Amino acid sequence: MASIVRPSLLRQTALAAKPAFRNSALRASAFHTSTRRSAFISPGPQRIEGTVNDPAPVPPPSAAHGSYHWTFERLLAAGLVPLSVAPFAAGSLNPTTDAILCSAVLLHSHIGFQSVIIDYIPQKSHPGLRKLFMWGLNLATLTVGVGLYEFETNDVGVTEAIKKLWKA
Amino acid sequence: MNAHRLGLAAVRSASASTPFFSQTLPRSLLAATLSTSSSSSLSTPSLKRPITTQKLSPEEGQQVLANQRLNRPVSPHLGIYKMEQTWFGASAWTRITGCTLSGAAYVYFTAYLVSPLLGFHVESAALASGFAALPFVLQGAVKFALAFPFTFHFINGIKHLVYDLGVGFAKKDIILGEKLLWISSLIGGGYLAFGL
């Protein structure tokens, strides 16, 4: 059926089509894929497992890595809104709120850096690099946690330090 | 613009002039005939094929796919958004400003922890007196370099928390949100840097 209709359809369409649509460059552009190379990190060797038509693998469902994690991230971020404003707005120095703010900021930063690593260092193509960065981040967060504890106990506390620096 | 839309446009303009075309015609067929028609076929119905297909073995197909994947941009990347679309409101800016602030904090508190071992002074008193010695412009610049990422991350973070509730995805809301975000965070950053 299609082979019978095709020539007559072609003539009709070609007659009716506007000149812009007969531009061959425009016609071919629909089939082009991206030629931009990634900026930060090489895509690495590409191995296609299975056939080209297989869907992407779905990881086993885990609420701790899925919805609970997502909700926790959002609650933490939402909680930081009043936590980061209150000490400066109230103008009072309270070691407890300072400690809560520091812990929340540290966790928020850690989760944020984790998601950056997850996005830019694919587990599949760079498993070793991923592991290195994840453990490097764990070490950095631990170091900063100890540093924050030292700062809170031996120095004036984060809120007060920022105030001092700002008014210097 | 893809072949499907080209075909649709052709159907519309063709059905306006001839009664032959109707809505029941298969659109993919029209798209196929249009995309393979020659550029000078007004008088001659000759078939040139600028786009050809060829038979590939599964192994060759995999190779094509693998090579195509090498050209893909890394996904959360400012380069994948159009400037006139959502570039300025992209969540990547939240990430960039957040990483700036958290990175600075990580560097500072690590330096604070190791400073007694290495014998340099970064405690708050030393830092404040060193900062006071800087000229006003430089002080303002340092403050703005910290305050602007904070206000931006703060405001865009709230915007994204609102998005997470499923609110504000209309095109005009997105555009308005982007404008408000940049104006308020620039003003807020400027106020924190120079107004306090």
B14 and B53 housed in the same domain: yes
B82 and B66 housed in the same domain: no
pLDDT band at B1 (very low <50, low <70, confident <90, very high): very low
B135 and B174 housed in the same domain: yes
What CA–CA distances, in Å, run from B126 to A14, A88, B6, B129? 78, 22, 68, 5
Domains contained in chain B, number: 2
Q: Using a CB-CB distance cutoff of 8 angstroms, which residues of chain A are in contact with residue B68?
A: 33
- Output the six-digit token pair for B153: 């991350």
Q: What is the DSSP string of A68-103?
A: HHHHHHHHHHHHHHHHHHHHHHH----HHHHHHHHH
- H or E element in which residue A113 lies: helix A95-120
> Over the range A119-138, which residues count as b (16 or more CB within 10 Å of their CB) and which as e?
ebbbeebbeebbeebbeebe
B185 and B114 housed in the same domain: yes
On whether A120 is known to bind a ligand per the annotation, the reply is yes
Model confidence pLDDT, tens digit, residues A78-127: 999 999 998 888 876 788 889 999 999 999 999 999 999 998 888 887 88
B83 and B64 housed in the same domain: no
Model confidence pLDDT, tens digit, residues B24-47: 455 555 555 454 444 444 445 556
B53 burial via Cβ count (<10 Å: 0-12, 13-18, 19+): exposed
CB contact under 8 A, A113 and B102: yes
**Lowest-pLDDT range, A57-66, B26-35, B154-163?**
B26-35
B83 and B19 housed in the same domain: no
Q: Are A153 and A159 in contact (CB under 8 A)?
A: no
B82 and B62 housed in the same domain: no
Domain span including residue B137: 78-195
pLDDT band at A49 (very low <50, low <70, confident <90, very high): confident
CATH number of the domain that residue B141 is part of: 1.20.1300.10
Structural domains in chain A, CATH included, are 74-167 (1.20.1300.10)
B15 and B54 housed in the same domain: yes
| B172 min Cα distance to partner chain A (Å) | 25
